[in-house]
Chains A and B, each alone.
Chain A
Amino acid sequence: MSTLVATRKSTQVVALSAPRRDPAPSKMKYRLQRLWLRKYVRPVVQIWLPVLGIALFVWLLGSNDALRGAVQQKIDDVRASVAARPELTIESIDIPVGSVDLVRQIDGVIDLALPVSALDVDLEAVRQVVQNLSAVKSAMVHLSNTGQLVITIEERIPKMVWRNGNRIFLLDETGIRVAEVPRRAVRFDLPLVIGGGADMAIDEAQALFDMAAPLEERIRALVRVGERRWDVVLDGDQVVKLPEFGAEDALRRIVDMQNTQQIMDWNLSIIDMRDPNRPLIRLNDDALEALRKQRNSTYGEPV
């Protein structure tokens, strides 16, 4: 049954005297605002008080040993607890590229008691240690997210064998020692340079070897003489003495002569190209004898 009188859902009732909102600031607020508007209050409160507070705090911390110790202890504890996380543990060292020898060498120089926390490892120091190995051209050390210390190295590739006195080294293309070997025969595939200062002139030696490619079969070694010029030693104890300057040109002449006259097949011991205007040849004793005999027979007089 519905009511006959409709009722309004909301009857608007307006208060006869609604209390007005008073926008007035309280006395305290008013005074604070006026204080805030003073000329020096704002910089003092906003800058100098915080600075002073921080300075005071730092000074307090520094002046009290026990407090400082406690703070240091706390910091250490936190650091230790973080370092102990399994996510940061280095389980192994991974060297993806590198010869077996080098890997063994690297393993020898890195002294890490694995497993170790990544926080305790100075990666730069590790890199430096690896870098200092003579066989390493460059090294990169990083942590993989699988708990490995990855050392990516670029090896120095030996290009020559260098005998200096009693010691035999392998040199790379810049003359830096890669390794020491007990015998020349270990790397028979590499050309041999001999003599003090030869490592300083590896570029030149390489150029000379390239130049003398037709004679490659016969070349035994390049000998550095007086740390200034090269001798090419061939089999049969033949020596080509090259000048200090223009060694390549001189060697090219020799190669040309070899190509045209097979000069190195002559019975001679030394070709002296030190003065390019006046190359000299020293014949072997028997050749000299034969020559002398020939002349005697031809001219009838001794040479």
Chain B
Amino acid sequence: MIDLFETQRDMRHRREAAVKRGTVAVLDIGSSKIACLVLQFVPEAANDRTDITIPSMGSFRVTGVATTRSRGVQFGEIIDMNETERAVRTVVQGAQKMADTRVDHVIVSFAGGRPRSYGLDGIVDVEHGEVSERDIGNVLANCDVPPFGQDRKALHALPVNFTLDHKTGLNDPRGQIGVKLAVDMHMLTVSGVPVENLLECLRRCDLEVAGLSFSGFVSGVSALMEDEQKLGAAVVDFGGGSTSIAVFIRKHMIYGDAVRMGGDHITNDICQGLRVSTDVAERIKTLHGGLLATSADDRDLIEVPNPMAQWETDRRTVTRAELIGVMRPRVEEILEEVRARLDASGFEHLPTQRIVLTGGSSQIPGLEDMASRILGRQTRIGKPLRVQGLPQAATGPAFSAAVGLALHASQPQDECWDFEVPSDRLGTRRIRRAMRWFRENW
């Protein structure tokens, strides 16, 4: 686990440096679109009120926004490195041009890689009666890590809950007196190869990765209300290629998962069902799509362009009811899959079971009703929080991951690797770090 800590810790340092320097970019590489926001952090003075826990609205402003059609990405994973690289270059250049600054550090969200959640726990004796940062490092290092596979990497390792001598529910046990310190940690692992590909792709674009987050997690950060995050809620980021799920309680993500289906599959269904090209299907879906058929929809004719038509009279129309009939089963399938994952996560044991749908595909009319029917809980469509400087065009649900990344960058949660690893486990780490520093800077 040490190696993994290393890269994550480096990212953390880089992010801190970038935030201190003032400019950082946020990159949401999705299956249907790639969005880039350039954030300009204002000096410390703006966010001196630490008691306000709404992710500090005033501490940064968005100075550059660009989006492009995603290329070479499927299920949130890169399948064509060159295409993706070009797309990333396009957005980064556009956002840089708008912001008129150069960005070196990007924070990226990641939706693919078959995320898997693990609940870890560890327990140690407190060394000097009073819990110090060193004890926290010890207990985090002492967690039993299940064998999650050689090729997988930990994307998040969040200490969710500390227990000090039967007193549980502590967020920050430092300074408290006790004998035994236990921790519950949530670890999210993803396949290593897609992550490696992603990092390589960004490296090719001359960008340094200053953070890597699970897209469901960051969508939750931006789309969930504060009390929803506290009392328990699930966010379903209904994206293009995959649908990420994250369960929050007490402002921590306790479960993350992804269904490898999304809006692109709906488009595909339309494509096949109505025998039109992908572009046309996408257009029909966004303009006329829906999930609840009414009798009016039988009379609502949608003209389907036919490239083979030779005559003006040679037209083809479908009713909206037909279109809904094509879309509905796929959405039901996705939602049922989401429900299965949520059931597996033990979501029903949370005090409140709010479900927030966000992401680009959540804009399908009628999804809210359908989701509440299938998921069986109170659901709503979530738009991301408003942040300073974000143009109106980028405030829709499709941008919740990007906005969430921005918020997460301004107020990152403590991860396991932010704490000092006890020295007996350090080994040759220091020397290796020094070597790496030399290699990177000289």
Q: Are B277 and A24 in contact (CB under 8 A)?
A: no
Closest 10 pairs (CB-CB, A-B): A24-B86, A37-B102, A14-B307, A24-B90, A30-B89, A25-B93, A34-B102, A23-B90, A24-B89, A25-B89
B92: chain A residues at CB < 8 Å are 30
Q: Are A33 and B68 in contact (CB under 8 A)?
A: no
Q: Are A31 and B96 in contact (CB under 8 A)?
A: no
What are 16 A-B pairs at a CB distance below 8 A?
A: A8-B310, A8-B311, A11-B310, A14-B305, A16-B307, A24-B86, A24-B90, A25-B93, A27-B89, A29-B93, A30-B93, A33-B96, A33-B97, A34-B102, A37-B101, A38-B102
Interface residues of A in 13-30 (CB under 8 A from B): 13-17, 22-25, 27, 29-30
Does any Cβ of A come within 8 Å of B206's Cβ?
Answer: yes
Which of B87, B89, B205 has the largest count of A CB atoms less than 10 A from its CB? B89
Query: Which of B68, B97, B102, B307 is in CB contact (< 8 Å) with A23?
Result: B68
What class of interface size applies to chain B in its complex with A?
10 to 19
Which residue of A has the minimal Cβ distance to B305? A14
Does any Cβ of A come within 8 Å of B100's Cβ?
Answer: yes
Which residue of A has the minimal Cβ distance to B100? A37
B311: chain A residues at CB < 8 Å are 8
B89: chain A residues at CB < 8 Å are 24-25, 27, 30
- CA A24 – CA B277 in complex, angstroms? 24
Which residue of B has the minimal Cβ distance to A29? B93
Q: Are B86 and A31 in contact (CB under 8 A)?
A: no
A17: chain B residues at CB < 8 Å are 277
What class of interface size applies to chain A in its complex with B?
10 to 19
Query: Which of B93, B277, B305, B307 is in CB contact (< 8 Å) with A33?
Result: B93
A24: chain B residues at CB < 8 Å are 86-87, 89-90
B310: chain A residues at CB < 8 Å are 8, 11
Chain A 24-51 against B: per-residue CB contact (8 Å), 1 yes, 0 no? 1101011101100110000000000000
B86: chain A residues at CB < 8 Å are 22, 24
- CA A138 – CA B149 in complex, angstroms? 107
Chain A 187-227 against B: per-residue CB contact (8 Å), 1 yes, 0 no? 00000000000000000000000000000000000000000
- CA A208 – CA B101 in complex, angstroms? 88
Within the complex, what minimum Cβ distance (angstroms) separates A24 from chain B?
Answer: 4
Chain B 199-221 against A: per-residue CB contact (8 Å), 1 yes, 0 no? 00000011000000000000000
Which residues of B are in contact with A by a Cβ distance under 8 Å?
68, 86-87, 89-90, 92-93, 96-97, 100-102, 205-206, 277, 305, 307, 310-311
B97: chain A residues at CB < 8 Å are 33
Within the complex, what minimum Cβ distance (angstroms) separates A222 from chain B?
Answer: 87
B307: chain A residues at CB < 8 Å are 13-16
Which residues of A are in contact with B by a Cβ distance under 8 Å?
8, 11, 13-17, 22-25, 27, 29-31, 33-34, 37-38
Within the complex, what minimum Cβ distance (angstroms) separates A23 from chain B?
Answer: 5
B305: chain A residues at CB < 8 Å are 14
- CA A244 – CA B217 in complex, angstroms? 113
- CA A25 – CA B307 in complex, angstroms? 31
Within the complex, what minimum Cβ distance (angstroms) separates A141 from chain B?
Answer: 58
Within the complex, what minimum Cβ distance (angstroms) separates B307 from chain A?
Answer: 4
Q: A14-B307, A17-B277 are in contact. Are A34 and B206 (CB under 8 A)?
A: yes
Which residue of B has the minimal Cβ distance to A17? B277
A33: chain B residues at CB < 8 Å are 93, 96-97
A16: chain B residues at CB < 8 Å are 277, 307
Q: Are A37 and B96 in contact (CB under 8 A)?
A: yes
- CA A233 – CA B90 in complex, angstroms? 108
B101: chain A residues at CB < 8 Å are 37
Within the complex, what minimum Cβ distance (angstroms) separates A30 from chain B?
Answer: 5
Which residue of A has the minimal Cβ distance to B99? A37
- CA A8 – CA B309 in complex, angstroms? 13
Having A25-B93, A30-B206, one finds 20 other A-B pairs with CB under 8 Å, namely: A8-B310, A8-B311, A13-B307, A15-B307, A16-B307, A22-B86, A23-B90, A24-B86, A24-B89, A24-B90, A25-B89, A29-B93, A30-B93, A30-B205, A33-B97, A34-B96, A34-B102, A37-B96, A37-B100, A38-B102
Which of B90, B100, B102, B205 has the largest count of A CB atoms less than 10 A from its CB? B102
A11: chain B residues at CB < 8 Å are 310
- CA A8 – CA B262 in complex, angstroms? 43
B96: chain A residues at CB < 8 Å are 33-34, 37
- CA A173 – CA B307 in complex, angstroms? 105
- CA A225 – CA B87 in complex, angstroms? 108
Within the complex, what minimum Cβ distance (angstroms) separates A134 from chain B?
Answer: 72
Which of A29, A30, A33, A38 has the largest count of B CB atoms less than 10 A from its CB? A30
Within the complex, what minimum Cβ distance (angstroms) separates A11 from chain B?
Answer: 6
Which residue of A has the minimal Cβ distance to B89? A30
- CA A82 – CA B428 in complex, angstroms? 83
Within the complex, what minimum Cβ distance (angstroms) separates A113 from chain B?
Answer: 66
B206: chain A residues at CB < 8 Å are 30-31, 34
A34: chain B residues at CB < 8 Å are 96, 102, 206
Which residue of B has the minimal Cβ distance to A36? B102
Within the complex, what minimum Cβ distance (angstroms) separates A13 from chain B?
Answer: 8
- CA A118 – CA B89 in complex, angstroms? 65
Within the complex, what minimum Cβ distance (angstroms) separates B130 from chain A?
Answer: 47
Within the complex, what minimum Cβ distance (angstroms) separates B313 from chain A?
Answer: 12
Q: A30-B205, A34-B206, A37-B96 are in contact. Are A25 and B90 (CB under 8 A)?
A: yes
A22: chain B residues at CB < 8 Å are 86
Within the complex, what minimum Cβ distance (angstroms) separates B164 from chain A?
Answer: 49
A38: chain B residues at CB < 8 Å are 102
Within the complex, what minimum Cβ distance (angstroms) separates B221 from chain A?
Answer: 29
Within the complex, what minimum Cβ distance (angstroms) separates B314 from chain A?
Answer: 11
- CA A297 – CA B277 in complex, angstroms? 159
A25: chain B residues at CB < 8 Å are 89-90, 93
- CA A36 – CA B90 in complex, angstroms? 16
